[in-house]
Structure 1
Amino acid sequence: MLQIKVEKNGGDYSVIQEAIDAVPYDESAVIEIGVGVYREKIFCEKKDITLVGAGMAETVIDYDDYANEVMPDGSKRGTFRTYTAFFGGKKVTVRDMTIRNSAGDGRVVGQAVAVYADADVCRFENVKMTGCQDTLFCAPLPVAARQQNGFMGPRMMTERRLTKQYYKNCEIVGDVDFIFGGADAVFDDCVITCNDRMFGRSSAGVSAGSATTVSGGSGVDKDQIDVSERIINGYITAACGLKDNLGFVFRNCSITGASGCEKGSVFLGRPWREEARTVFLNCTMDDSIASERFSGWGGITKDEPDTFYGEFGTRIAAGIGTGASNSGSEAGKLASLEYKNPWVRDIDEALALEISRRADELVQGVNGDGVSGDGSL
């Protein structure tokens, strides 16, 4: 197995992309990335590669491409060419670093992907992924785009294939649809935080590249999110997997709004396509999470009967995140789901155990060593 070191000074390489390019496709390799902020746009497509940083706070890969950027031919960059890091190939492992897209508020710049995860098998551990709209894309794409060239990017013309992805002890930050795609993906012990988009308050300093600053306020933003009657800070997920797949499974995660997020302003998800599947098992959430839990696509109460959305064992947060306003006496109580949208599933313990068993099978396959995640209920 190849061992390569990237350091600002003194490594085999000082540029991450050069180290990746040096690895023959069929060779297994571990690339250790030292302390520092690496302003790079990464494209990695190898048979078996591992990238290891010096820690979330120590190793940072940062770029700021964004969807509304006008390209030399006059077209816009679009979502799927904005990634800071693209991971394709057969197997990729990423550990101990931050990957961010620093383009800024989606109401100014549009979508801005930090991580485009498209390897057959993906494993992320102790990785912070941060951005605003569309932070983490868990490939594959849907079969068809809703607008011409809507999928312009590295996989637009390729056959769609299901990927298996595992996220352990990761931190994921964003606001609109910031964990999205058609993968089977398991998130264990992760911290998921929705940005405060500062409605009705000054948002001075919110900018992206050369884009203009966005002002707070209500109305309809570029995503056609109607906030004229209700403030919506974001949607955590936007899945597009098929009904027989596992979809997105979050287990023992912390789900919160950032400081300033209004109560009930964050949805657990909305379906990018009709058969979206997303469940939350034994997660802790604060009061920024909307009582309806999941939104329809194009409207909070829009009927979405073909989705598989639900949660089990959700507990109320106290003092975690910053959207929480529950008293200590309420901490740990099971959340009330009495106001959830009618198409959100009722998941009992038996079904939760079955979903968790399927999630453990995926984790075992990704790890390749028979070690599962913590699927306890």
Structure 2
Amino acid sequence: MLCSILLIAVYPILISCSKSPETTDETTPIEEEDKTINADAVVAADGTGDFTSLQDAINAAPNNRTAYYYIYIKKGTYKEVVTVPRNKDYIYVVGENEVTTVLTYDNYASRLKPDGSEYGTSGSASFFVQGNNFVAENITFENTAGISAGQALAININGSQSAFRNCRFLGHQDTWYAGNGTYQYLKDCFIEGSVDFIFGGSTAFFDNCQLESTRNGYITAASTPEAQAYGYVFHHCTLTARPEIASNSVYLGRPWRPNAKVIFIECAMDKHIQQPGWHNWGNPDNEKTAFYAEYKSTGAGASIDTRVSWSRQLNDEQAANFSYDKVIGDKHPNFIADDINLVIADN
């Protein structure tokens, strides 16, 4: 019987091996038993897995788990609205490749449901996370409704804690959303959009991510609750735009709610970023309550001297209050360690 081993790392690769021990010493197999995890389910669009639908694989996971249920998704485009329900905690999904493993749909806020009502902004997502301790790696979450469709989410997160590594979130207006009181850690991810494409009231730490603007607009629309210590922290991120996007045409953010908190820490910003940096959403009172800050921004869009007067440039001591450990360190599920192999059985 053959098996495949997915090496979980920042740049994973897929290799094959034989279960027959190929060793220099017949008593010692190549793989150390404690260095592997068996996938609980395999999803494959071509029928070579346990399921052809990710939703079916999630539905098959036992309810109310306290240990991870690992789902491996082979490359392919899966057009379905997927929900991780509240009774499905500890779901861990791993794609074969973040570019070729695509979860997609094309709903949008004003689209009518079969019952004649609109999906609305929150209901337009292609992927819903309701379960706690959700983790995803090497996957594209996509909404293809188009740039003129209005609000159209790629993902809607309401599970209390989640983590994403090497994932892509593709859409335009309102691409990525996470609700109040939730925590997310995003590592080495790509997020694109036009208007308010990272929004909501969560505590989220974006680590070494790329934020790509698809037209003029606003990157963030945080709605951080007043009593919440942190909102969005972007750490060592890169802010880019499609080639046709004009210089000085994209704001770092505007406050969806008065107490929005957004901080950029040592981020590289291209020329598309507006020189004022931040927008008050047409309400001067928001300038008194929103916390918008930067620390050591670089690039053509890092126009520190022209930022709005009500934003902040942090010093070293202030920036230390927005470190990974203080913002999110013990509040998100961990990724599989780089030296652990996820083993899947070939059908």
What is the TM-score normalised by the length of structure 1? 0.74
Correspondences of 1:109-258 after superposition (within 5 Å) = 109-140=149-180, 162-196=181-215, 233-243=216-226, 244-258=228-242
Cα gap change, 1:291 to 1:101, in 2 (>3 Å): same
CA distances 1:191-236 after superposition (whole Å, capped 9, x unpaired): 000003xxxxxxxxxxxxxxxxxxxxxxxxxxxxxxxxxxxx1110
Cα gap change, 1:286 to 1:302, in 2 (>3 Å): farther
Given candidates 278, 287, 290, the residue that maps to 1:294 is 278
1:41 matched to 2:81: yes
Structure 2 match to 1:282: 266
| Structure 1 residue ranges without an equivalent (≥5) | 141-161, 197-232, 318-323, 325-334, 372-377
Question: How far 1:365 sits from its partner (Å)?
Answer: 3.1
1:24 matched to 2:62: yes
CA distances 1:293-331 after superposition (whole Å, capped 9, x unpaired): 1111137x77521011010110115xxxxxx8xxxxxxx
In the alignment, the residues of structure 1 paired with residue 91 and residue 99 of structure 2 have an alpha-carbon distance, to the nearest angstrom, of 22
On the 8 A contact 1:67/1:78 being kept in 2, the answer is yes
Question: How far 1:55 sits from its partner (Å)?
Answer: 1.3
Flag the structure with higher strand content. Answer: 2
In the alignment, the residues of structure 2 paired with residue 76 and residue 15 of structure 1 have an alpha-carbon distance, to the nearest angstrom, of 25
Structure 1 match to 2:9: none
In the alignment, the residues of structure 2 paired with residue 110 and residue 357 of structure 1 have an alpha-carbon distance, to the nearest angstrom, of 33
Given candidates 14, 19, 29, the residue that maps to 2:52 is 14
SS in 2 for 1:69: coil
SS in 2 for 1:363: coil
On the 8 A contact 1:52/1:96 being kept in 2, the answer is yes
In the alignment, the residues of structure 2 paired with residue 19 and residue 36 of structure 1 have an alpha-carbon distance, to the nearest angstrom, of 15
In the alignment, the residues of structure 1 paired with residue 150 and residue 116 of structure 2 have an alpha-carbon distance, to the nearest angstrom, of 16
Structure 2 match to 1:305: 288
Question: How far 1:348 sits from its partner (Å)?
Answer: 1.2
On the 8 A contact 1:65/1:101 being kept in 2, the answer is yes
Q: Number of residue pairs matched?
A: 293
SS in 1 for 2:206: strand
1:350 matched to 2:325: no
On the 8 A contact 1:242/1:277 being kept in 2, the answer is no
In the alignment, the residues of structure 1 paired with residue 41 and residue 50 of structure 2 have an alpha-carbon distance, to the nearest angstrom, of 6
In the alignment, the residues of structure 2 paired with residue 168 and residue 189 of structure 1 have an alpha-carbon distance, to the nearest angstrom, of 6
Structure 1 match to 2:16: none
| Structure 2 residue ranges without an equivalent (≥5) | 1-37, 338-347
In the alignment, the residues of structure 2 paired with residue 122 and residue 357 of structure 1 have an alpha-carbon distance, to the nearest angstrom, of 15
Cα gap change, 1:128 to 1:90, in 2 (>3 Å): same
Correspondences of 1:100-115 after superposition (within 5 Å) = 100-105=142-147, 108-115=148-155
- Matched letter for residue 120 of structure 2: G
On the 8 A contact 1:90/1:121 being kept in 2, the answer is yes
In the alignment, the residues of structure 1 paired with residue 325 and residue 319 of structure 2 have an alpha-carbon distance, to the nearest angstrom, of 10
| Structure of higher RCO (CA pairs closer than 8 Å, 6+ residues apart) | 2
Identical aligned residues as a percent? 35
Cα gap change, 1:113 to 1:63, in 2 (>3 Å): same
Q: Over aligned residue pairs, what C-alpha RMSD do you find? A: 1.9
On the 8 A contact 1:71/1:77 being kept in 2, the answer is yes
In the alignment, the residues of structure 1 paired with residue 116 and residue 132 of structure 2 have an alpha-carbon distance, to the nearest angstrom, of 34
On the 8 A contact 2:205/2:324 being kept in 1, the answer is no
Question: How far 1:164 sits from its partner (Å)?
Answer: 1.0
Cα gap change, 1:307 to 1:358, in 2 (>3 Å): farther
In the alignment, the residues of structure 2 paired with residue 254 and residue 295 of structure 1 have an alpha-carbon distance, to the nearest angstrom, of 20
- Matched letter for residue 321 of structure 2: E
SS in 2 for 1:175: strand
1:4 matched to 2:41: yes
CA distances 1:122-176 after superposition (whole Å, capped 9, x unpaired): 1000000000000000113xxxxxxxxxxxxxxxxxxxxx111100000000010
On the 8 A contact 2:134/2:333 being kept in 1, the answer is no
- Matched letter for residue 351 of structure 1: Q
On the 8 A contact 1:295/1:302 being kept in 2, the answer is no
